Structure 1
Amino acid sequence: MAGAAPKLRADDRADRTMSGRHDRALRAGLISVMVPLSLTLVQCGKAPDPAALAANSQANVQVVAKTNSQSSNARVASGDTFEDRFPAPQFKERFPSASESFLQRQMSDFSPKRAVQSQPEQASYKVASLEPQVPYKRPAREDLTTLVSMKSSAFPYFGNNPASDAPFLNISKGDRRGHRSYSGRVYWQDETYSDSRVLVHVPEHFDLRKPGVIVVFFHGNGATLERDVRDRQMVPKQVTDSGANAILLAPQMAVDAADSSAGKFWQPGGFKRFMAESADHLARLTGDPNSARAFANMPIVIVGYSGGFLPTAWSLEVGGISDRVRGVVLLDAVYGEMDKFASWIESHRSGFFVSAYTRHTARRDRELMSMLRQKGISVAEDMDGPLRPGSVVFVETGEGITHRDYVTRAWTRDPLKDVLVKMAATPSLALTRVASTNP
């Protein structure tokens, strides 16, 4: 036992020796780490060296300058300048060119959109209504009455007077030209024979799709279209009130003058040219330019009042479209030209002829009746019966019926209306369109 103790002490010394070596190595490692760190901390606590700063600054300037130069060269080479990145706005970018346009906006583009509601399905049963259901009807069109200037109307006229074959304008005074009438009175062209207007009247009920007729009204002496034909004699109103599918044309003759000159209606084909031009105007006025042909083929009824007998007679004789004329109405108007009226009646037995007269024209009306009876043509002397194809009627009106008011009061009130009513009510006088004929 005594020999074992020294051995333990030797081992213990060996362990202590090894432990001491280990501690010394650890301390040496820590010192090697801490010494450089302390030197660095000492340097951080000192002020920076000005010389070193200057050197570093100069070096940095050179580096930055070199870098900027290279960068600038690169930008110039690549076109990446301020102007390239932010170019000034051009005029064409602010305003559209001629080939461009602004987008048009409507107020509906800015209004809130409504949701479309689906329509409910129709019930399989009907619900009784306490009130009658009236179907919707388009509002009726109003009457159209207007004045239209036409080149083919009666005046101005620079041709000859067929009665004398002399120039119609047979008087001159300075630059003015005029016409001396049969009474010896002079009427100047610029005052009396220069109005080319035509009174056109289309009733609200007129329907081009149905058979119709064109009424041509030749007014008498001392008249104007507005004051007399439209307002005093109420010719447009009579056409409308008749209910007939008819249109009115009334050319201005000598303006407010005691003269019955026919102007262009004296010329061969003059009435045909007038009706052809009227068809074009009627087509435009009624809103359908393609309807001109229909108007150009419609039958015609000529009404002549007083001095209007002269253009009526010449239109029948040389107008060029006498076959389109389905009826002639003379209102106290047989002052002459009986041969022309008799010729048309004889050669157009499918048409009708009515002449109403006062004592002023009674002698010539009786003469015309005699001429027709000699030709074997039957003549009636009242308007009580219907109008038929070939009807020839002369009506003498009694005392108290004045010539001035004859267009509104003859054998009846509104005689033109009465004729159109009788004409439209007769099946055999159906107002069918007929083809225009050559003269």
Structure 2
Amino acid sequence: MRGRFFGRTQGAGLALGGALLMAGCAGPAVQPGQPTQTGVTSIDGATVSLASFENSAFPYHGVIPNYQETGKSRPFLDVDDNGRLGHSSSRGGIHWEDQTYSDRTVLLAAPQSFDPNKPGIIIVFFHGNNATLSRDVIARQQIVRQLADSGLNAVLVAPQLAVDAQDSSAGRFWSPGGFAAFLGEAQTKLGDLYPNARGAFRRMPVVIVAYSGGYLPAAYSLAVGGDQSRVRGLVLLDALYGEREKFVSWAEGPGRSAFFVSAYSTSSREGNQAVRAQLAAAGVPTVDGLPAELTPGVVAFVDAGSVEHNDFVTSAWGGAPLRDIFSRIGG
């Protein structure tokens, strides 16, 4: 698949070995705070690895910038119970670091059709609340399957955020340069799978996809994360619940050389309408629905109607909205 988003890559050979026991397959679930067993397996038409990262979202001992969009900051871990650290959430009570914010796991997936000899793309996926990578991102929401079925020559990188919690905390993605550090490590890990394509991964453009509460790490990745020039696309799936100004600023500035798709149900309709109005006021043209091709400068809003928010990623138009979106990237 070719298009203006892609650059040519170097030749590569695939080097794979070992086996991965994953939750949702045979073997016990990976427990938060424990080292992740690194290896590879085949799932949903893709080569999949769960890798432990130094630069994933958590652990995080910094501050929350712009706490509840007040412009003020506060420590993220603001609870200390005899040395056990936690984060107090207005929605979910206290979440303990050892249970919720210590998992360094990152999902790496490449469709079996992925060819690093051809123009490629890195998809970074930020999941929503109450999620784990194996149970929800892979099994329930079928993110890997949707990418594999789309035909897009791309790899998927998805960090574990708050583990199975009603929490949207961005962790290290709140930090200046946090996204660039994460992306740099992802490129290294992908290069371990494709040793002859290390340079190719460093040059690949990036598309950020955020579902629901994943809007928060996405917003800060765009605003302060670094490597913004590599971001050639943004996809929000029922996700405009906050930090609207960051998305508007990106769309008005760096996003003009990228595409922006925001699909929504009644759950996030208000936020989408507000952002679209701000973009119109700033002279940024928008369209209803998905165009045939997602090319630089496209800003599309897709009203999916009264789809259940929790099932949006597998129930919005056609039942596989990401497959449809991915298939339109790159011309």
What are the within-5 Å matches in structure 2 for residues 176-191 of structure 1? 176-183=84-91, 185-191=93-99
**Alpha-carbon separation, structure 2, partners of 1:230 and 1:296:** 25
Q: CA offset at residue 251 of structure 1?
A: 0.2
State the Cα deviation string for residues 143-198 of structure 1 (Å, max 9, x = none): 31110000100000011111242211000111210000132600000000000000
Q: Aligned match of 1:373 in 280, 285, 288?
A: 280
**Alpha-carbon separation, structure 1, partners of 2:92 and 2:129:** 15
**Alpha-carbon separation, structure 1, partners of 2:292 and 2:47:** 32
What are the within-5 Å matches in structure 2 for residues 244-283 of structure 1? 244-283=152-191
1:351 aligns with 2:258: yes
Q: How many residues align?
A: 281
State the Cα deviation string for residues 57-92 of structure 1 (Å, max 9, x = none): xxxxxxxxxxxxxxxxxxxxxxxxxxxxxxxxxxxx
**Alpha-carbon separation, structure 2, partners of 1:384 and 1:302:** 19
Asked whether the 8 Å contact 1:395–1:411 carries over to 2, the reply is no
State the Cα deviation string for residues 205-233 of structure 1 (Å, max 9, x = none): 11111100000000000000000000000
1:333 aligns with 2:239: yes
Letter in 2 for 1:198: V
**What is the root-mean-square deviation in Å for CA atoms of aligned residues?**
1.2
Asked whether the 8 Å contact 2:99–2:163 carries over to 1, the reply is yes
1:148 aligns with 2:51: yes
Letter in 2 for 1:281: K
Question: Which residue of structure 2 lines up, in the alignment, with residue 294 of structure 1?
Answer: 200
Stretches of structure 2 that go unaligned for 5 or more consecutive residues are 1-44
Asked whether the 8 Å contact 2:46–2:144 carries over to 1, the reply is no
Asked whether the 8 Å contact 1:349–1:389 carries over to 2, the reply is yes
Q: CA offset at residue 417 of structure 1?
A: 1.0
Q: Helix, strand or coil: the match of 1:362? A: helix
Deviating 4+ runs (over 6 angstroms): none
**Alpha-carbon separation, structure 2, partners of 1:195 and 1:285:** 22
1:157 aligns with 2:71: no
Letter in 1 for 2:148: T
Q: Helix, strand or coil: the match of 2:283? A: coil
Question: Which residue of structure 2 lines up, in the alignment, with residue 61 of structure 1?
Answer: none
Question: Which residue of structure 2 lines up, in the alignment, with residue 312 of structure 1?
Answer: 218
Letter in 1 for 2:183: M
Asked whether the 8 Å contact 1:155–1:194 carries over to 2, the reply is yes
Stretches of structure 1 that go unaligned for 5 or more consecutive residues are 1-141, 427-439
More strand by share: 2
What are the within-5 Å matches in structure 2 for residues 25-174 of structure 1? 143-162=46-65, 163=67, 164-174=72-82
Question: Which residue of structure 2 lines up, in the alignment, with residue 411 of structure 1?
Answer: 317
Q: CA offset at residue 293 of structure 1?
A: 2.5
Question: Which residue of structure 1 lines up, in the alignment, with residue 108 of structure 2?
Answer: 200
Q: Helix, strand or coil: the match of 1:361? A: helix
**Alpha-carbon separation, structure 2, partners of 1:158 and 1:257:** 18
Give the fraction of aligned pairs with identical amino acids, expressed as a percent: 49
**Alpha-carbon separation, structure 1, partners of 2:294 and 2:95:** 41
More displaced, 297-306 or 376-385? 376-385
Letter in 1 for 2:59: P
TM-score under structure 1 length normalisation: 0.63
**Alpha-carbon separation, structure 2, partners of 1:203 and 1:388:** 23
Q: CA offset at residue 384 of structure 1?
A: 4.9
**Alpha-carbon separation, structure 1, partners of 2:159 and 2:102:** 12
TM-score under structure 2 length normalisation: 0.83
Question: Which residue of structure 1 lines up, in the alignment, with residue 22 of structure 2?
Answer: none
Letter in 2 for 1:374: A
| Rg (Cα) greater in structure | 1
Letter in 2 for 1:317: A
**Alpha-carbon separation, structure 2, partners of 1:240 and 1:385:** 19
